[in-house]
Structure 1
Amino acid sequence: MANKIFSHAFSALLALSAITANVHGQTLTDLIKDTEIREGCIISLAVADAGGNTLAEWNADYPMVPASTMKTVTTGLALQELGSGFRFRTSIAYSGYTDSLGTLHGDLYIIGGADPTLASTRKKQDSLFNIWGNAVKSAGIDSIAGSIIGDAGFFPDEMAPGSWEWGDLGTYYGAGASGLSFHENSISIRIIPAEKTGQRPYAEQIYPETPWMHIDNLSTTGPRWSPNTILLYTSELCPVAEIRGSYPINGGINIEECCNKYPAMTCAYHFDRYLAANGINSLSGPMDTGRFTTRDPSEFADRDSLHYIITTYSESLSSIVAKTNMESNNMYAETLFKMTGLQTGGSASYETAIKTAGKLLDEMGIDTKGYRQTDGSGLSRQNLVSARFLSTFLSKAAAGPEGDAFIESLPVPGHEGTLKHVLKDVKPEYSSRIRAKSGSMSGVRCYAGYIFPDNRKKPVSFALMSNNHAGKGSDMQKAIEEILKALLAELMPGKSIVL
């Protein structure tokens, strides 16, 4: 069977490669074969026209680890199901009553609606808290006899899937999704090397403050020019974290972005501080409806019984999808994955989100052979897709009602986002004809997206994937870019695409 697949793939690519050779005199087929041998990897390629018809393929049905190209499926389905104009909502509400002196005999709730962009920067936080604070004052509340409560119950407690590796859980890209997110569920830690190697570097949490968290610094200062291997290890199980790894003695001051597993409590804490600074004090302080509470769950007010003061909304979904794909934001992708599950499948659990994605793909008429999705971002190595599956999905997504918004969410090589430094030696008039999502992790380099050839008004979709290379990532990156340039040249015969 393997020989048949190889023979078929070779024939299909050979037919396309007969059009022209790439800038180095090699055909696309030769480049792929040489790269597989030199890098000890497997390469998968599928190219399809706007109708989903195969133009070229190589190992197109092999299940491959997609890394962040998985986000194309997540964001494409989210746009399809939620619509580009969808907006997440967050509400301020209260239980109890306000007396004639302006004292709220009850609690003030921050009701999360899973907005991943909530207070994503200090500037946005200040603006948001001003809006919320003014609404609280307008409601006649001058003091609070109860607590400020962050309610993240819109999503289940699981912020990250069980398939993520332990070493990823404390990183900024391993933040995960919450029903009430805050500052992209991350914290910033300042690292300063010690005076001598082997000593503890100085580590200081900058923002947002999480005083209930206990962070142990177990890291060391490494020799000059040694790699920075600093990582924060934490989980949702308890508010304890460890800083491990090594930081070079000549590394200077560095800011490490790490994961915050308690965003609802963080939001409540900082809004409580804001209100106190503006003369509105809460007697019992901040808490959430999860780990940081002394109450029984039955003591929290039912959402339907609350008095709602104000509801604020996120940016449009098309804007959030663009940020997800341009910046390869894992937390945004996980939020969209779970929100699609909630909208269409009735639950934001990972189990439902996974089943919902499979069901939607079946309804689109896409063969899911070689497809297995366990998260929304592609961080899990248990995700598997074939190049044929990805190129087919991309063709159908482009033809759908949200096709334009989806295509525009993908970065242009050499210009923006995660592709800013890709294909820098390709002439801008040709690199601008590509819109694609990259995906990379140890042993994985992938690109999936669209190419707009000269003679086609509609894009050609492609998925180019490499797995299992054991050499330097930079070598594989260079090799995969050469293949991408050759593919671009094949689709634009007679053009000199390189600077």
Structure 2
Amino acid sequence: MKIRFLVVLAFAAIVFTGNAQTVFQDEVKVLLQKPEYRNATVGIVIADAKTGERLFELNPDQLMIPASTLKIVTTATALEMLGADYRFETKTGFTGAIDETGTLHGDLVIVSGGDPTLGSAWFNTSKCKNWFLKDWVEQIIHSGIKEIKGNVVLDGSLYHIEEVPPTWVWGDIGNYYGANASAFTVYDNLFTITFRSGKAGEKTEIIQLEPNLSDLKIDNRVLSSEINSDQAYVFGSPMDNNRIIRGTIPKEKKAFSIKASIPNSAALLGVELLSVLKAEGIKIGGTVVQDSVENVKIIHVHQSPTLTEIVKTVNHESVNLFAEHLLLQLSAEKTGVGSREKSIELVQQFWNEKGFNVSSLFMEDGSGLSHFNAISPAFITSVLVDMKSSKNSVSFVESLPNAGEGTLSSFSTQKFPGNTLSVKSGSMTRVRCYAGYLKTSSGKEIAFSIMFNHFSGSQSKLRAGIENLLSTL
């Protein structure tokens, strides 16, 4: 591997102190000489966070799998195109008319705004899970409706119908991190499966589903194991009520829970809404249907947390589902229909108009879950530099976890106290990447992207190696 170290004298004494440049370069060489990284693809770019001046680069334009560091591009674009104060809106309304007895001669309609936070465990944690449904029904009652002669209609036409990005792998989409972004995402589009396990090697028993998905058929092949961690994987696709669960969970547990993606979140929302309506004494003549509706009389608008808050959750906790919603919302706002393909075009167009070389950006999704995503470390670093001077800089930078927080919890707070290090991490099989900002020992700030693809050895060992590299700066 050829390493090119760029020394710009004007910055050498400002950005790095003492012999930090030489130490960093030497540590990179030592790391890459280890057997597990000799055949790996490695890209590193370090730049002055204010000027963008390159201070170090190794394969800067190499296209690589970014994993969750792609969320940097998605969240930055969403903040720039939608605005930090943007909120998703879900509207409750009706068609027809309400007579003097409170009978609605028409349909009750819920119009999707693409909100990924309805009933989310990441927000409103002090409230009951379905608090938003109770709020909607309260507004329905306040409007004078006591009985609905028609149907409860869920209008999810805002999003183009696509189950999941076609390049997501089968082993991901049944699990919680592979949840599909739906026009009616609810409860983070995941459900909890609770098992009871026996002796090592024995079959497990499913004792609870939460929420209870009555139509779901589960083929449970999970065994009890000496391994004291969750090694169970759920297989199944959106809109399919069949699930196979394979793998192991720890032995002799009275209750051990895992999370999986909900097959049809809109259907679940309909069931939950119907239940709350009936509990409040509202009679319903029809059923729950999914359709596009025009000329809806709006009686209530539910707003999500701000985009700033959502982006912080995306980057702090690496929530794939939210990232996919942010991507879809770009074209939903621009064209009226949220489409993955169109949104990716808009991302490319946005950065191209800012002078970026978008031939270094290939997106298949917004979260980085697809192995088909490809981006250069130079592109990611340039986005980081650009966002430092953006009007949305504070929202973006503060969305990145510091050492000891979120997905950066394993990084030393002694080496990187406070907000010294603000980084988005990304990992999948044989992929580990970090990108963000670092305040050097001189107090100056650098933007960087460190990407490793196709390495052997453990993730934890490489994480420690990269942490050591950063500590030399």
**TM-score, normalisation: structure 2:** 0.91
Provide Cα deviations, 1:304-341, integer angstroms capped at 9, x if missing partner: x1221111111111111111111111011000011113
Aligned counterpart in structure 1 of residue 310 of structure 2, from 304, 320, 336: 320
| Corresponding residue to 2:454 among 468, 488, 493 | 468
Whether the aligned pair in 1 keeps the contact of 2:157 and 2:337 (CA below 8 Å) is no
Structure 2: how far apart are the matches of 1:227 and 1:451?
A: 33
Q: Which residue in 2 is equivalent to 1:496?
A: none
One-letter code aligned to 1:238: D
Classify the secondary structure of the residue corresponding to 2:213: coil
Task: Look up the match of 2:465.
Answer: 479
Give the aligned partner of residue 96 of structure 1: 96
Write the deviation string for residues 176-219 of structure 1: whole angstroms up to 9, x where unpaired.
211121111111111221456242x112443223223x222332
User: 2:320 maps to which residue?
Assistant: 330
Contact 1:268 1:288 in 2 (8 A): no
Supply the AA of the counterpart residue of 2:236: T
- Matched with 1:266 is 268
Taking a change above 3 Å as real, the CA distance of residues 370 and 209 of structure 1, as seen in their structure-2 partners, is same
Deviation at 1:402, TM superposition (A): 0.9
- The amino acid that maps onto 1:417 is G
Match of 2:138 among 134, 137, 149: 134
Q: Which moved more, 1:247-256 or 1:156-165?
A: 247-256
> Which residue of 1 is the match for residue 187 of structure 2?
183
Is the 1:20–1:27 Cα contact (8 Å) retained in structure 2? no
Residue among 195, 198, 205 paired with 1:202: 205
Q: Deviations over 1:358-381 (max 9, x none)?
A: 111101111234321111001111
- Give the AA of the match of 2:455: H
Distance 1:76 1:364 in 2: 13
**Mapped contact 2:195–2:208 kept (Cα < 8 A):** no
| Equivalent in the alignment of 1:30 | 26
1-side partners of 2:113 and 2:74: how far apart?
A: 19
For residue 397 of structure 2, what is the aligned residue in structure 1? 407
Give the Cα–Cα distance (whole angstroms) in 1 for the partners of residues 298 and 365 of structure 2: 34
Q: Which residue does 1:240 correspond to in 2?
A: 242
RMSD: 2.5
Check conservation: 1:81, 1:343, Cα contact below 8 A. Answer: no
Structure 2 residue 420 is the aligned partner of structure 1 residue 420: no
What are the within-5 Å matches in structure 2 for residues 246-285 of structure 1?
246-251=248-253, 253-285=255-287
Give the whole-Å Cα distance in 2 for the aligned partners of 1:29 and 1:279: 70
How many equivalent residue pairs?
A: 462
Deviations, residues 425-461 of structure 1 (Å, cap 9, x unaligned): 41525xx22211111111111111112336566x321
**CA shift at 1:125, angstroms?**
4.1
Q: Residue by residue, what CA displacement relative to the aligned partner does 1:268-292 show, whole Å, maximum 9, x if unpaired?
A: 1111101111111323333434xxx
Partner residue, 1:372:
362
Q: Partners in 1 of 2:115 and 2:437 — Cα distance?
A: 29
Q: Say yes or no: does 1:107 pair with 2:110.
A: no
Matched, 1:78 2:82: no
Mean Cα deviation higher: 248-257 or 84-93: 248-257
Q: Is 2:362 the counterpart of 1:360?
A: no
What amino acid does structure 2 have at the position aligned with 1:477? R
Secondary structure (helix, strand or coil) at the match of 2:269 reads helix
Match of 1:445 among 410, 432, 438: 432
Moved more, 348-357 or 31-40: 31-40
Shift of the alpha carbon at 1:150? Answer: 2.4
1:174 alignment partner, one of 174, 178, 185: 178
Q: One-letter code of the match for 1:275?
A: L
List per-residue Cα deviations over 1:213-268 (Å, max 9, x = no partner). Answer: x2223323233226532122121243222222222324552221110131111111
Q: Are the counterparts in 2 of residues 69 and 439 from structure 1 also a CA contact under 8 Å?
A: yes
Give the aligned partner of residue 227 of structure 2: 225
Q: Following superposition of structure 1 onto structure 2, how do residues 21-60 of structure 1 map, counting pairs within 5 Å?
A: 27-38=23-34, 39-40=36-37, 41-49=40-48, 50-60=50-60
User: Does the 8 Å CA contact 1:423/1:485 hold for their aligned counterparts?
Assistant: no
- In the TM superposition, structure 1's runs of 4+ consecutive aligned residues that sit over 4 Å from their partners are 10-22, 454-457
- What is aligned with 1:216? 218
Between the aligned partners of 2:69 and 2:137, the Cα distance in structure 1 is: 40
* Conservation of the 8 A alpha-carbon contact between 1:184 and 1:331: yes
For structure 2, the 5+ residue unaligned runs are none
Distance 1:259 1:222 in 2: 22
What secondary structure, in the 3-state scheme, does the structure 1 residue paired with 2:33 have?
A: helix
Paired amino acid for 2:112: G
Cα distance change, pair 428–227 in 1 and its aligned pair in 2 (3 A): closer
| Partner Cα distance (2:276, 2:226) in 1 | 43
1:492 corresponds to: none
- Determine the C-alpha separation between the residues in 1 that align with 2:90 and 2:313: 20
8 Å CA contact retained: 1:150, 1:265 = no
After TM superposition, give the deviation of residue 119 of structure 1 in Å.
1.5
Query: 1:329-356 CA distances to partner (integer Å, 9 max, x unpaired)?
Result: 1011000011113334654211101111
Gaps of at least 5 residues in structure 1 are 290-299, 490-499
Cα deviation, residue 133, structure 1: 1.3
Q: C-alpha distance in 1, partners of 2:218/2:355?
A: 51
SS of residue matched to 1:423: coil
Classify the secondary structure of the residue corresponding to 1:375. Answer: coil
Alpha-carbon contact 1:119-1:128 (below 8 Å) kept: yes
Alignment partner, residue 332 of structure 2: 342
Matching residue's letter, 1:230? A
- Matched with 1:351 is 341
Query: Cα–Cα, structure 1 residues 110 and 209, in superposed 2: closer, same or farther, change >3 Å?
Result: farther
| C-alpha displacement of 1:424 | 4.0
**Is this contact kept in 1: 2:46–2:381, CA < 8 A?**
yes
Q: Percent identity?
A: 30
Question: What's the secondary structure of 1:269's corresponding residue?
Answer: helix
CA contact (8 A) 2:158 2:336 kept: no
SS state at 1:210 partner:
coil
